[in-house]
Amino acid sequence: MKILSMDTMKGGWFVGDFDPTAHKTDKFEVCYKVHQKNEVWPAHYHPIATEINYLISGEMIIQKKQLKSGDIFILYPYEVADPTFQTECKLIVVKTPSKHGDKVEV
């Protein structure tokens, strides 16, 4: 068995084609992310990856849509992520595939 600490991972990302990682793969990436209320997060899109997001807790707005705890939202290539965090938000994010440089800020 291998035991790692999330504290050693970068930005909550712990599976994917990057270092450090708990499991290296180019098939997908997995992240546990906590965003603070009113945190500024730059609008961006991914030209290659599809991003599947599970909002564990909190409330946010993305693409002018109100989301709440328990919502799952999927962003397809070239769809802009422009989140506004109305409360602290905890998310599980899965991106497929895991591709270096696949993030473009707008």
Q: Render each residue's pLDDT in the chain as its tens digit; 106 residues.
A: 999 999 999 999 999 999 999 999 999 999 999 999 999 999 999 999 999 999 999 999 999 999 999 999 999 999 999 999 999 999 999 999 999 999 999 9
Q: What is the pLDDT, as a whole number, of residue 9?
A: 96
Bond preceding residue 20 cis, omega within 30 of 0? yes
Q: In terms of Cα–Cα distance, which of 74, 76, 103 is closest to 11? A: 103
d(C-alpha 15, C-alpha 40), whole Å: 25
